[in-house]
A = this chain, B = another copy of it.
């Protein structure tokens, strides 16, 4: 499986980020067809209490890199990517990788 990880830096206004992300961005992103996995997590302090360098980490999965790029190149994908600057005041970093799996992952829908 291929994965795109999106790392969001700490926003200038976390409450505004959260509100926009869940109420505005997510409905736009949900219009993308073909994803075979999608996870969202807000980063928490590490065991020492230190804040990590990112605010949120998102995982988008597809069967291949070509499939993932095609999803992002669709009108719905382009609208989703174009919306990111509207809320990502702390910037965003994209990591592309083919997932190698040592212990199987099964994550049922929570949202």
Query: Interface of A with B (CB < 8 Å)?
Result: 1, 3, 5, 7, 26, 30, 35-47, 52-54, 56-57, 59, 61, 65, 69, 93-111
Contacts and interface: CB of A to CB of B under 8 A. Distances in A.
Contacts of A30: 102
Contact of A43 (B35, B39, B56, B95): B95
Secondary structure class of chain A's binding surface, majority of residues? strand
14 contacts: A7-B7, A7-B95, A37-B103, A38-B103, A38-B105, A39-B99, A43-B97, A44-B98, A47-B69, A101-B111, A102-B109, A102-B111, A105-B107, A106-B107
Given A61-B105, A107-B104, A109-B103, A97 B53 contact: no
